[in-house]
Amino acid sequence: MEVCRRIQERYEIVFEQVGFDRDHVHVLCSAAPRYSPGMIVRVVKSITAQEIFKRFPGLRGELWGGELWTGGYCLATIGEGGNRAVIEEYIKAQGQKPEEVQLRLFEINKFKDTPPLGAGSSS
């Protein structure tokens, strides 16, 4: 988390929660409005990769194409009306069995009387 602290100090990107699974990472963060969401992803990927390769020099040779991160990412923003608690719970649950976690994103207050997508029917 030292790397995250340094990113936070330099770029004003506040890491509020980080969750790891087998093949991906979820990050809940806030940042100064001068940074676009895509730029935040690029900064975090670049600096964390540099630090990991510095600490584990042989790792680059073990990775496909020598890259730590894939080129893609999924990014979502939470506005004032967003349900931050749902996102925090989802990130906290990383590493658990997928069936225990995945549909929790749809348990948002305004849909609380409606079953989550995919629940109860098979097609």
Burial of 107 (0-12, 13-18, 19+ CB in 10 A): middle
Residues forming a β-bridge with 15: 29
7, 43 in Cβ contact below 8 A? yes
CA-to-CA distance for 84 and 77, rounded, in angstroms? 10
Would residue 35 show up in a list of annotated catalytic residues for this protein? Answer: no
DSSP state, residue 23? S
Q: Which of 11, 35, 73, 90 is catalytic?
A: 90
What is the torsional sign of CA 7, 10, 13, 14? positive
Question: What residues are annotated to the active site?
Answer: 90
